[in-house]
């Protein structure tokens, strides 16, 4: 349940952040007179300051704050629906209009991309799709990560306390640092208790302190993994030394080999890295799109970035639709073909309209874009694989 709550919280934050980046301009804003509260410029009866863009009328009512929160969460703004409609049905028109200055009526590409990524994260968490078939292990992986973070925080708090004592700090500062250490210890004990309870429920035995204070090590028997499962095979290969990283960087190799012994946690880390570093798809894709237009005058990197952001948003929408379809209909094989076909068709009309190309120019570029997309996605997967395993 904590994963679902975390997903909803992340989506709420994304909606608020995107609204802050791309705040809707409501026609209900009151006109202002006198000087702008922010920069002091003359408002001259405008709804917004001509110098800094701040609204002329500043509210101080709680209801207005709640209204902003709700608007940030669900974006009650006609621009979101106008932008999404064009993105799905007429992507070329959307990109062309935005590149050539018609922007007030649309959500900006970066805001829409952020919303799509977080919406995809939310749907994956709620439907279980983000676990890629490892839902029985995701809870344990999350507890392990929580314990690791809690241990790091406790170590940092203890180090701070030791430094204060060494420097001869005041009694109040030392007492506050000690309280911080005690709080971190309680959090760590809580997470370890949850892990122990989960292991006991699963029929496992874990290391436990004996009555004399020494550590008693029992045989670990994992009953959650079936013989022959992929994770079981990876773990066994790592234990036998058959699966071993050899990148040429010892520190990275040690991290990868350590994660191979716990593949469930490794997958969890890689998934988190994919969410956190989704923006890397933009700089990775940019050189490939530039290659398709490098001799075309008047086409800039800004144009390519707008095109890439809207394209990635559409791909995110595809994943969201597929996840919801799986949740509602099980394994909807009938949906796979239309979704696969939608990608190239969408890319063709996006290329043609977004860059103002003729039919032939768009047709010969389409295969290159599909190939470049596969290369870019492969590079992205390699990057998040390394970032995830490196912690």
Quickly state the pLDDT bin for 205 (edges 50, 70, 90).
Answer: very low
Quickly state the pLDDT bin for 90 (edges 50, 70, 90).
Answer: very high
Lowest mean per-residue pLDDT among 23-37, 188-202, 287-301, 350-364: 23-37
* Average per-residue pLDDT for the chain: 74
For residues 206-217, average pLDDT: 40
Which residues contact residue 317 at a Cβ distance below 8 angstroms, ignoring those fewer than 6 apart?
Answer: 84, 87, 88, 116
Residue 254: exposure state from Cβ atoms within 10 A (0-12, 13-18, ≥19): exposed
Q: Return the pLDDT at 265.
A: 74
For residues 203-217, average pLDDT: 42
pLDDT in tens, 313-334: 999 998 888 888 877 777 666 7
Quickly state the pLDDT bin for 289 (edges 50, 70, 90).
Answer: very high
Which residues contact residue 291 at a Cβ distance below 8 angstroms, ignoring those fewer than 6 apart?
Answer: 368, 372
DSSP 212: T
Q: Supply the angle between the helices 333-354 and 301-329 in degrees, to the nearest 10.
A: 160
Q: Return the pLDDT at 216.
A: 37
Quickly state the pLDDT bin for 219 (edges 50, 70, 90).
Answer: very low
Quickly state the pLDDT bin for 167 (edges 50, 70, 90).
Answer: confident
Question: Does 132 have pLDDT greater than 50?
Answer: no
Q: What are phi and psi of 384, to 5 degrees?
A: -70, -25
Question: Does 25 have pLDDT greater than 60?
Answer: no
Q: Return the pLDDT at 301.
A: 92
What is the Cα–Cα distance from 57 to 38, expressed in whole angstroms?
A: 11
Identify each DSSP E strand in the chain by its residue range: 208-209, 215-216
Question: Does 370 have pLDDT greater than 60?
Answer: yes
Instruction: Please tell me the pTM assigned to this model.
Output: 0.62
> How far from 323 is each of 25, 87, 328, 341, 346, CA to CA, in Å?
33, 20, 9, 17, 20
What is the Cα–Cα distance from 64 to 128, expressed in whole angstroms?
A: 36
Question: Does 300 have pLDDT greater than 80?
Answer: yes
What is the Cα–Cα distance from 270 to 275, expressed in whole angstroms?
A: 9
The better pLDDT of the pair 167, 213 is held by 167
For residues 19-27, average pLDDT: 51
Q: Return the pLDDT at 225.
A: 38
Which residues contact residue 293 at a Cβ distance below 8 angstroms, ignoring those fewer than 6 apart?
Answer: 299, 304, 355
Lowest mean per-residue pLDDT among 37-41, 72-76, 220-224, 278-282: 220-224
Question: Does 346 have pLDDT greater than 80?
Answer: yes
Percentage of the chain modeled with pLDDT above 70: 67
């Amino acid at each position: 349940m904590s994963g679902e709550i975390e997903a909803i919280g992340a989506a709420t934050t994304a909606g608020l952040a995107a609204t802050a980046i791309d705040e809707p301009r409501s026609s209900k804003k009151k006109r202002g007179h006198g000087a702008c509260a922010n920069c002091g410029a003359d408002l001259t009866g405008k709804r917004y300051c001509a110098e800094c863009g701040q609204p002329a009328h500043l509210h101080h009512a709680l209801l207005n704050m709640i209204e902003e929160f709700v608007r940030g969460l669900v974006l009650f703004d006609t621009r979101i629906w106008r932008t999404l409609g064009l993105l799905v049905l007429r992507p070329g028109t959307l990109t062309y209009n935005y590149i050539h200055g018609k922007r007030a009526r649309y959500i900006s590409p970066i805001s829409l991309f952020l919303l799509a990524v977080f919406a995809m994260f939310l749907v994956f968490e709620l439907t279980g799709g983000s676990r890629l078939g490892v839902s029985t292990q995701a809870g344990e992986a999350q507890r392990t990560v929580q314990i690791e973070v809690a241990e790091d925080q406790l170590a940092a708090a203890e180090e701070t306390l030791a430094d204060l004592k060494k420097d001869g700090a005041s009694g109040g500062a030392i007492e506050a640092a000690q309280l911080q250490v005690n709080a971190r210890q309680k959090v760590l004990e809580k997470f370890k208790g949850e892990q122990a309870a989960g292991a006991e429920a699963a029929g496992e035995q874990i290391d436990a302190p004996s009555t004399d204070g020494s550590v008693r090590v029992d045989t670990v028997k994992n009953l959650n993994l079936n013989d022959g499962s992929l994770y079981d095979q990876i773990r066994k290969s790592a234990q036998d030394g058959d699966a071993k990283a050899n990148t040429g960087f010892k520190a990275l190799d040690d991290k990868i080999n350590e994660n191979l012994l716990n593949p469930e946690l490794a997958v969890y880390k890689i998934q988190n890295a994919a969410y956190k570093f989704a923006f890397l798809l933009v700089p990775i894709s940019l050189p490939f799109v530039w290659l398709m237009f490098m001799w075309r005058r008047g086409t800039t990197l800004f144009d390519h970035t707008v095109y890439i952001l809207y394209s990635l948003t559409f791909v995110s929408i595809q994943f969201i639709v597929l996840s919801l379809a799986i949740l509602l209909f099980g394994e909807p094989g009938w949906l796979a073909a239309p979704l696969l076909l939608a990608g190239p068709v969408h890319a063709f009309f996006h290329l043609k309209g977004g860059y103002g190309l003729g039919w032939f120019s768009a047709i010969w570029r389409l295969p290159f874009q599909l190939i470049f997309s596969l290369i870019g996605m492969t590079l992205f997967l390699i990057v998040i694989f390394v970032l995830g395993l490196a912690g």
